[in-house]
Amino acid sequence: MATSCEQMKKIQGHPCFEGNHHKTGRMHLAVAPACNIKCGYCTRKHDCANESRPGVASRLMTPSEALDKVREVMASPILGPTMRVVGIAGPGDPLANQQTFETFKLVGEAFPDLIKCMSTNGLLLPESLERLHALGLHSLTVTINATNAETAAQIYRHIYYHGKRYSGRDAAEILLASQYEGVQRAVELGMVVKVNTVLIPGINEAEVPLIAERIKGLGAFVMNVMPLIPQADLAHIPAPSAEQLAEVRNNNERIISQMRHCKQCRADAIGLL
């Protein structure tokens, strides 16, 4: 497991960490359309170019098109000098798509100095980590919204795991086990791990500090508590207030560092945060 000093060195240039987001940019490559879970707060049915939320992209790309896009951005006199990170964050789950691995391979060969980053729901993370490590994945974001299966079952409608559909408590237990195991193994491989948690009033607010304690013990570097965007199955739940979000983050700061400048980026976001 990397020491804090080693981790601080590794995050230099990554805009998701404090101190870097005003100076360095990232590009998300929308190469991963398929998803293997159904989150109650996620909808990918529509896209507006002016909205910023996870799970949306204006156009899907093939791995070769993604490499062309990286070349275009890096050649830009405006964007190129700021660009440090190339990431894959959907619009589905990257690990449910072979294109993710193909894209990281192509980009890594052409631009070895770019930091490779990925966001995932974590379902397939334990079995994918050796492959990601071999591709040089630097940093990883895992979305974890619960510590117990009863809570998770209220958030996720179902999962698809190794060719089988699971729902309810069965789905929740498989997902949570994969997420926490994945965080631990990623840290052991030297990756910088950020955990995203969606704050869902009335469902998981009591478990947010429990998530913080658990991931801190596993070696995660930072936690990002994000406000619920009321939509899909959870459209009836109001988003947490700014005061509620700030209180949760402040309390969690006693456990693990908190990311406070998240913009809940699109799967095709490019530029500064």
CATH number, domain of 222, equals: 3.20.20.70
pLDDT tens digit string along 74-99?
898 888 788 899 999 889 999 999 99
Calpha distance 31→29 (Å, rounded): 6
Whether the model pTM is above 0.85: yes
Find the domain containing 160 and state its range.
4-271
Question: Pairing between strand 37-39 and 156-161?
Answer: antiparallel
Give the number of other CB atoms < 10 A from CB of residue 241: 11
Q: What is the pLDDT of residue 22?
A: 56
Q: What is the pLDDT of residue 14?
A: 56
pLDDT tens digit string along 138-149?
999 999 999 999
Closest CA to 229 of 221, 238, 216: 238
- Work out the mean pLDDT of the chain and round it to a whole number: 87
pLDDT at 23 over 70: no
How many independent structural domains does the chain possess?
Answer: 1
Query: What is the percentage of the chain residues whose pLDDT exceeds 90?
Result: 71
pLDDT tens digit string along 228-262?
999 899 999 999 999 999 999 999 999 999 987 65
pLDDT at 171 over 80: yes
